[in-house]
A and B are shown apart, each in its own frame.
Chain A
Amino acid sequence: MEAKDIIARRVASEFKDGDVVNLGIGLPTLVPNFIPEGVEIILHSENGFTGIGPAPEEDQVDMDLVNAGGLPVTIIPGGVFFDSAMSFTIIRGGHLDATVLGALQVDEEGNLANWMIPGKLVPGMGGAMDLVGGAKKVIVAMTHTAKGEIKILKRCTLPLTGAKKVSKIITEMGVMEVTPEGLVLTEYNTEYTIEEIQAVTEATLIISKDIKPMF
């Protein structure tokens, strides 16, 4: 299985039936493929609806119905449309059970940076700051390193998207929970040793007493 599928599959086991979830663009959009049977989650799209369905057939494309990345999607029965103020009332007001997003950097305090690289890339935060600040659970889902570059740090060096908001980091190597003591490795991919995982992590991993394999 590819790294992104390993991550998406593990993220999918985080939800309980009925959870309202916002998935960021990229890797997080793979998560619905792995939701276990019997669990139904309500997918929220910050441009203004719930009930995101699969991409339409080419001849069914309707540009009035796009996701937060501007791509045509569909809406499943039970889904509803709303305006941007309602969309962010859902996000900020404590009505969103979880958000899943990628990161440029994340650190052992639960700080997250994913909206700009000064002098290089300034796409803007879009809805990411509201999602990170408002969701009950903030799950960072990403490959453990960026082509070898370490992303899980003691302290983020890039401008933050949110301070001390991340609940959990899920990579192809393992699952780390953000705690007041630091990052606790609770699960690991048995294709790697714990030493190998620590070697590509700047933050010091606290190994859980109950550590177990990811799958």
Chain B
Amino acid sequence: MKKVISMDEAISHIQDGMMIMIGGFLACGSPHKIIDAIIEKGVKDLTIIGNDTGFVDRGIGKLVVSGQAKKVIVSHIGTNKETGRLMNEGKLEVVLVPQGTLAEQVRAGGAGLGGVLTPIGVGTPVAEGKDHLIIDGKTYLLEKALKADVALIFGSKVDEKGNVYYHESTRNFNPLMATAAEKVIVEAEELVKVGELDPHLVMTPGLFVQYIVKP
């Protein structure tokens, strides 16, 4: 199966109204070139799952500024003033989730689980409207799994089979998201031939990845 495709073809998989996951932590390890191509294409009403909304000019935040997101599910918006402004004006729905809960929701989505039980958020606004379960005397919140139509991830070194190595702190949510979407598109910083990536260093097995773009 040929996985390496053009940016145009990659972007054709992203449609109005989709739920998309985007890797990265404050724009470190985000697929920047794919984000730029989405802005150029102009799809709208996206629901974006990511750690944060980055910055106005870098990372996921660019899709907030461009007005293409109708909803974001993230742990932090404080570094992007546009997210707060659009939220206050009622133009963007913002769901804030504790970072560790978000990671587990995505992991559960990719692992075939319905959700996770976490003690985090009990007694805070995060708990409102959620099922509380008491297990062995301790209270947990039921947090449902998250899945997406498309996951957009960033790989530092990717082979033509879609095996991915992440450099330094670019890993963050990328390997989790790569398991939790119908289609996974990786933006390769460096694309290598099959056999050139040491199997010990592969952090996302290529079976999770449908498409590779090398901008």
A and B associate in one complex = yes
Residues of chain B lying within 8 A (CB to CB) of residue A197: none
- How far, in angstroms, from A122 to B87 measured CA to CA in the complex? 10
Q: Which of B69-128 contact A (CB under 8 A)?
A: 74-79, 84, 87, 94, 96, 98-104, 107, 118-126
Binding-face segment, B40-48, B171-179, B192-200, B206-214: B171-179
A187 interfacial contact with B, CB 8 Å = no
Expressed in whole angstroms, the minimum distance between the Cβ of B190 and any Cβ of chain A is 12
* Contact (Cβ within 8 A) A123 B75: no
- How far, in angstroms, from A123 to B76 measured CA to CA in the complex? 6
Q: A85-B176, A126-B76, A130-B99 are in contact. Are A47 and B124 (CB under 8 A)?
A: no
* Contact (Cβ within 8 A) B75 A81: no
Mark B residues whose CB is within 8 Å of A.
Answer: 25-29, 51-52, 74-79, 84, 87, 94, 96, 98-104, 107, 118-126, 156, 166-176, 203
- How far, in angstroms, from A190 to B42 measured CA to CA in the complex? 63
* Given A125-B96, A134-B100, 12 other A-B residues pairs in contact with their CB atoms under 8 A: A62-B168, A75-B168, A84-B100, A87-B103, A122-B96, A124-B76, A125-B126, A129-B101, A130-B98, A130-B99, A160-B124, A163-B123
* Contact (Cβ within 8 A) B98 A125: yes
- How far, in angstroms, from A213 to B126 measured CA to CA in the complex? 40
Partner of B122, one of A92, A130, A163: A163
Partner of B175, one of A45, A83, A91: A83
A127 interfacial contact with B, CB 8 Å = yes
Interface flags, A75-104, vs B, CB<8A=1, else 0: 100000111110110011000000000000
A143 interfacial contact with B, CB 8 Å = no
A49 interfacial contact with B, CB 8 Å = yes
- How far, in angstroms, from A118 to B77 measured CA to CA in the complex? 14
Residues of chain B lying within 8 A (CB to CB) of residue A84: 25, 51, 99-100, 102-103, 172-173, 176
* Contact (Cβ within 8 A) B99 A125: yes
12 A-B pairs within 8 Å (CB atoms) are namely: A47-B26, A64-B28, A64-B169, A84-B100, A85-B176, A88-B104, A122-B84, A124-B75, A130-B98, A130-B120, A133-B119, A159-B124
A167 interfacial contact with B, CB 8 Å = no
Expressed in whole angstroms, the minimum distance between the Cβ of B163 and any Cβ of chain A is 16
A177 interfacial contact with B, CB 8 Å = no
- How far, in angstroms, from A83 to B164 measured CA to CA in the complex? 13
Expressed in whole angstroms, the minimum distance between the Cβ of A29 and any Cβ of chain B is 16
When C-beta atoms are compared, the residue in chain A nearest to B55 turns out to be A70
A65 interfacial contact with B, CB 8 Å = yes
A48 interfacial contact with B, CB 8 Å = yes
* Contact (Cβ within 8 A) B98 A45: no
Q: A64-B28, A124-B78 are in contact. Are A45 and B169 (CB under 8 A)?
A: yes
Residues of chain B lying within 8 A (CB to CB) of residue A105: none
Residues of chain B lying within 8 A (CB to CB) of residue A161: 124
The listed residue with most A CB atoms (<10 A of its CB), out of B84, B103, B170, B203, is B103
Residues of chain B lying within 8 A (CB to CB) of residue A126: 52, 75-76, 78, 99
- How far, in angstroms, from A63 to B94 measured CA to CA in the complex? 27
When C-beta atoms are compared, the residue in chain B nearest to A71 turns out to be B26
Q: A66-B169, A129-B121, A130-B99 are in contact. Are A85 and B104 (CB under 8 A)?
A: yes
Residues of chain B lying within 8 A (CB to CB) of residue A83: 103, 171-176, 203
Residues of chain B lying within 8 A (CB to CB) of residue A107: none
Residues of chain A lying within 8 A (CB to CB) of residue B98: 125, 127-130
When C-beta atoms are compared, the residue in chain B nearest to A69 turns out to be B26
A172 interfacial contact with B, CB 8 Å = no
- How far, in angstroms, from A161 to B107 measured CA to CA in the complex? 23
* Contact (Cβ within 8 A) A88 B176: no
Expressed in whole angstroms, the minimum distance between the Cβ of A83 and any Cβ of chain B is 5
> Shortest 9 CB-CB distances between A and B: which pairs?
A123-B78, A88-B100, A163-B123, A70-B26, A130-B100, A124-B76, A129-B98, A126-B76, A84-B103
Residues of chain B lying within 8 A (CB to CB) of residue A134: 100, 120
Residues of chain A lying within 8 A (CB to CB) of residue B122: 133, 163
- How far, in angstroms, from A46 to B176 measured CA to CA in the complex? 15
